[in-house]
Structures are given as structure tokens and as C-alpha cells.
Chains A and B, each alone.
Chain A
Amino acid sequence: DIQMTQSPSTLSASVGDRVTITCRASQDINNWLAWYQQKPGKAPKLLIYMASSLEGGVPSRFSGSGSGTEFTLTIGSLQPDDFATYYCHQYKNYSPWTFGQGTKVEIK
């Protein structure tokens, strides 16, 4: 299995802060990576696919980068609606498809 490791597990930040979350894959996954946002009691929502492509309707303050084994999700200026848990997801290999353990973004 391809292991996906996110860091940090929890992040405390203030409105307006620039926030970066890292996801590392245990082997090369090219750019076959997605990011999701999940709020309490809700389903995950797709933010980014193919490592850096913004899903339609997602604010432009969200961006993704990386390839190979290291990826980042950046929120350019944190907004109140952005406090949530974020997950990365690799879909390179049917090995099985795996998610990171999640990063919770909390209010500082």
C-alpha cells in the first residue's frame, strides 16, 4: 500500500494567516493527488485534484503544488469558513487508494 502522511496533524491559525499543509507519499505518485475539506458532520468536499487543479467553485485562496512524493495545500488568507479538517488522497495505484490521516485547522 502507498502510505500518505500529513503534517501537521493539528494547526492553530488566525483569520488572515497563510496556511500550508504537507502530504508525503511513501512512493512516487506523480501528481495523482487530491485534497478534500471536511467540516464536522459533513461529507468531504473536493478542493484540488491532479495536485494543483482547482475544482470548480472553490475559492482561489486554495492552491496545491508538488509532485512525486511531496505535496502541499496552501490557503492564501485563512477565512472563518476554512476552519475544518483537510485530507489528501492518492489515486495513482489501485494499491488500494489511500488517504492521509487528516490535518485539523483550528482557530488560534
Chain B
Amino acid sequence: QVQLRESGPGLVRPSETLSLTCTVSGASISSNDRYWGWIRQPPGKGLEWIATIYFSGSTYFNPSLKSRVTISVDTSKNLFSLKLTSVAAADTGFYYCARSTMFRGAPGHFDSWGQGTLVTVSS
């Protein structure tokens, strides 16, 4: 059974870069029918998709965040990572990594999620 686990600092200062890693176990990140993505959730609010990557390096970004987001994959370590630059208080929230299915050659629904990690942006 696939498991995803987020890791990274819980506190980031304003204007700095948020960096998170998602370690995958129980499945290969090089699977040819799965994508890997990040979703966030401000405390008490709804879900916002951030970005998704395929093991080959193909990427998809939320246009509202694209200029600040980098997503990468390390197939040798079976993990993928997120960087969000120039953070502000509005970037505070729970960050989830998730696996999505492949549907018509593109990402589909999210079938497995990490437990999430709270990132607070504050000086």
C-alpha cells in the first residue's frame, strides 16, 4: 500500500522560500500511470491545488502560483519536492502531497494523500 510523507520546516519567514519533500513508499514514483502533486489548505479553509509532476519531469502548475513554484522529482530516492518562493502570511497552511491517477494522458483524481504538514509563515 502506497504511503506518502511530507517533510520540511514548519516555520518560514516572510519573503523566504518554503521547501517541502514528499517521500513515497510502497509504490514506485516511476510508475507510468501515476502523477505526483501538492495541494494546500489554509487553516479552516478549502483545498487549493498547487502543482503536479510526472516521473519523466512533465509538470503542471496552478497559474495563480506558477511564478513562485518549482516542483521536482528524484526517482533514485523515490521522492518529489516543492519550492515556493517569496512566501507571505497568505501561504500559511497545511501542505499535502498526493498521488493522482492518469486519465486520458493527464492527471486525474487524487487516490492517495500524505498526512499533511503545517507550514506557518511568520517572522
Contacts and interface: CB of A to CB of B under 8 A. Distances in A.
Nearest to B112: A46
Contacts of B61: 96
B46 A101 contact: yes
A79 to B, nearest CB: 22
A46 B111 CA distance: 6
Contact of A96 (B63, B101, B108, B114): B63
A108 interface: no
B93 interface: no
A97 B115 contact: no
A34 B48 contact: no
Interface residues of B, number: 25
Interface in B99-113: 100-101, 103, 106-113
A55 interface: yes
A108 to B, nearest CB: 22
A43 B116 contact: yes
Interface size class of A (residues with CB under 8 A): 20 to 34
Nearest to B100: A91
Contacts, number: 60
**Contact residues of B: prevailing secondary structure:** strand
**Contact residues of A: prevailing secondary structure:** loop
Nearest to B61: A96
A103 B62 CA distance: 23
B2 interface: no
A99 B109 contact: no
A34 B110 contact: yes
Given A44-B47, A100-B46, A102-B46, A89 B63 contact: no
Interface of A: 32, 34, 36, 42-46, 49-50, 55, 87, 89, 91, 94, 96-102
12 contacts: A32-B108, A36-B110, A43-B115, A46-B112, A49-B101, A89-B47, A89-B110, A96-B49, A96-B61, A96-B62, A99-B47, A99-B49
**A-B interface, 3 closest residue pairs, ranked by CB to CB distance from nearest:** A34-B109, A43-B113, A99-B47
Given A46-B110, A91-B109, A99-B47, 14 more contacts: A34-B108, A42-B116, A44-B96, A46-B109, A87-B46, A91-B100, A96-B49, A96-B62, A96-B64, A97-B49, A98-B49, A99-B48, A101-B46, A102-B47
